[in-house]
């Protein structure tokens, strides 16, 4: 992307691979980056996994001249696990592994992702906001002590890789509610990276949507075809409101491109703002956490999610369209991940 928020994202990714000071990196940190965990935040579909992979696949792997090979396989240096797909009864087994007979159905030894991760690799824990307090405690122990124990086992094994975590959940609210431990949060975030939503990127740069469509068409069709790009852009313009919010972000845009290439049109799901949006706003009002500007911004962003255009938000709030756009953008950017 060419917009300012993507420039900041690229800078943040660079810093998490090489730090902001190359002299310091080359002198002392080049082989210590696994000690720096990273927390990636952003809405669903923004590309948090791609950001994590950019960090995880860029780690230093030493070359062993005597063996004429690298110390680890680059293709296996990044392991991703979506924590939300496992039930509570299995998530610890997937993370830490289990020994034969550790529980009903454990008919053999199983190596978890912490054991499979290379000493020069990175482990990506997606949907970290979904894990229970007991699992958070065990993960905290790994981050603090760099050791773990498989279920049903007694041997403490060492983990030497890097941890990258991501969530689309409001961690600030989860922490206040006691559903996410403060000590675990601070261990996770040597740095916090926010991946911008697509609507913000489009607002910042007029050419952002065209650039993304070009990349997606080339990826899907296998060729850089300007006629196909023009066809997709025209279909998007004819099918969507001018100020469409792209709630599914880049993931939704990719599927929109695929559908247009198949059918010539795209019918978006203009779903209303869900109860979570309203509940979050009410909770923050009760907590007295919002300034007047933040309150208006959050309200405008919620209306935009429901109504789909800046014009409708302006009509509902009595603001002019340009001002409503400003508040919608600010409300969309407001994150309650941090206190």
Same domain, 298 and 310: yes
Q: How far apart are CA 38 and CA 112, in angstroms?
A: 21
pLDDT at 339: 38
Q: What pLDDT sits at residue 45?
A: 95
Once rounded to an integer, what is the mean pLDDT over residues 100-118?
A: 92
Same domain, 209 and 162: no
Average pLDDT of the residues of the chain: 90
In a shared domain, residues 185 and 114:
yes
Within a domain: 93: yes
Q: Is residue 102 part of a domain?
A: yes
Task: Label residue 337 by pLDDT band (50, 70, 90).
Answer: very low
- Once rounded to an integer, what is the mean pLDDT over residues 161-170? 96
Q: Domain count for the chain, please give it.
A: 3
Both 20 and 162 in one domain: the answer is yes
DSSP letter (8 states) at residue 168: S
Closest CA to 32 of 144, 123, 119, 143: 119
pLDDT at 338 over 60: no
Query: What was the pLDDT predicted at 34?
Result: 95
What pLDDT score was predicted for residue 275?
Answer: 53
Among 109-123, 216-230, 234-248, the minimum mean pLDDT is found in 234-248
Domain identity same for 183 and 211: no
Mean pLDDT of 81-91: 91
Helices marked H in the chain: 4-18, 22-24, 48-56, 88-96, 113-116, 133-145, 171-176, 182-188, 198-204, 208-221, 226-239, 249-263, 275-286, 292-307, 310-317, 321-333
Q: What is the dihedral of CA 92, 73, 39, 156, to 10 degrees?
A: 40
The last residue of one of the domains, among 166, 194, 222, is 194
236: containing domain: 198-263
Residue 131 pLDDT greater than 80, yes or no: yes
**Model pLDDT for residues 261-312, shown as the tens digit of each residue:** 999 988 776 545 555 567 777 877 887 878 899 899 989 888 887 776 777 8
């Amino acid at each position: 992307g060419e917009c300012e928020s993507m420039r900041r994202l690229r800078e943040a990714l660079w810093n998490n691979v090489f730090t902001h000071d190359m002299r310091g990196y080359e002198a002392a940190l080049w082989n210590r980056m696994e000690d720096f965990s990273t927390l990636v935040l952003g809405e669903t579909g923004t590309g948090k996994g791609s950001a994590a992979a950019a960090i995880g696949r860029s780690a230093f792997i030493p070359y062993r001249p005597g063996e004429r090979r690298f110390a680890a396989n680059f293709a296996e240096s990044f392991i991703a696990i979506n924590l939300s797909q496992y039930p509570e009864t299995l998530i610890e087994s997937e993370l830490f592994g289990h020994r034969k007979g550790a529980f009903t159905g454990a008919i053999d030894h199983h190596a978890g992702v912490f054991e499979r991760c290379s000493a020069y690799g990175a482990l990506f824990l997606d949907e970290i906001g979904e894990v229970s307090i007991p699992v958070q405690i065990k993960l905290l122990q790994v981050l603090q002590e760099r050791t773990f124990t498989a279920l049903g086992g007694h041997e403490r094994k060492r983990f030497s890789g890097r941890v990258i975590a991501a969530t689309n959940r409001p961690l600030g609210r989860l922490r206040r509610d006691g559903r996410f431990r403060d000590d675990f949060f601070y261990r996770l975030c040597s740095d916090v990276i926010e991946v911008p939503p697509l609507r913000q990127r489009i607002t910042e740069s007029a050419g952002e949507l065209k650039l993304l469509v070009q990349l997606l068409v080339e990826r899907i069709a296998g060729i850089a075809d300007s006629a196909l790009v023009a066809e997709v852009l025209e279909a998007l313009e004819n099918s969507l409101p001018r100020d469409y919010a792209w709630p599914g972000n880049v993931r939704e845009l990719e599927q929109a491109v695929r559908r247009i290439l198949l059918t010539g049109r795209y019918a978006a799901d203009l779903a209303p703002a869900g109860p979570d949006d309203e509940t979050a706003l009410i909770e923050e009002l009760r907590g007295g956490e919002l300034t007047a500007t933040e309150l208006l911004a959050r309200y405008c962003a919620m209306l935009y999610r429901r109504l789909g255009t800046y014009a409708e938000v302006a009509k509902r709030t009595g603001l002019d369209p340009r001002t409503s756009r400003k508040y919608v953008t600010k409300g969309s950017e407001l994150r309650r991940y941090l206190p």
